[in-house]
Homo-oligomer: A and B are copies of this chain.
Amino acid sequence: MSITRHEPGPILSLAVEHGDTVYLAGIVAKNLKNDVKGQTEEVLTEIDRLLAKAGSSKSKLLSATIWVTDIRSRAPMNEIWTKWVDPKNRPVRACVEAKLADPACLVEIMVVAAKG
């Protein structure tokens, strides 16, 4: 099975295709002045962009791992998530609390999707 890597940086690639599976890096917002809802919106927009680049889309999501820096942010994050996710194609998911690289980052989302 072939491997295709997208948008490599010094540490990681933002997306990797392997056969029919697409792995995305853990994505955080760049505009860190936003609250967790604004950051979640930015993260999900970036995930849409990367999935499209790798030949996938949110309707092909398989799995999502979400880290929030304060577990009480789960409810507002979920408001944005629920509006975004394809209601006929929801992935499996886990959401737990963890400190992230930048203290101003409030949410990080890492997904696996199918191609095609």
Interface residues, chain A, with chain B CB atoms under 8 Å away: 1, 3, 5, 8-16, 18-21, 23-26, 60, 62-65, 67, 71, 74, 78, 81-82, 85, 89-101, 108, 110, 112, 114, 116
Interchain CB contact (< 8 A) of A108 among B11, B20, B89, B96:
B96
Number of copies: 3
The answer for the CA separation of A75 and B18 in the assembled complex, in Å, is 29
Shortest Cβ distance from A42 into chain B, in angstroms? 17
The answer for the CA separation of A71 and B14 in the assembled complex, in Å, is 21
What is the chain B residue whose CB lies nearest that of A27?
A: B94
- The answer to whether A101 and B74 touch across the interface, beta carbons within 8 angstroms, is yes
- The answer to whether B112 and A11 touch across the interface, beta carbons within 8 angstroms, is no
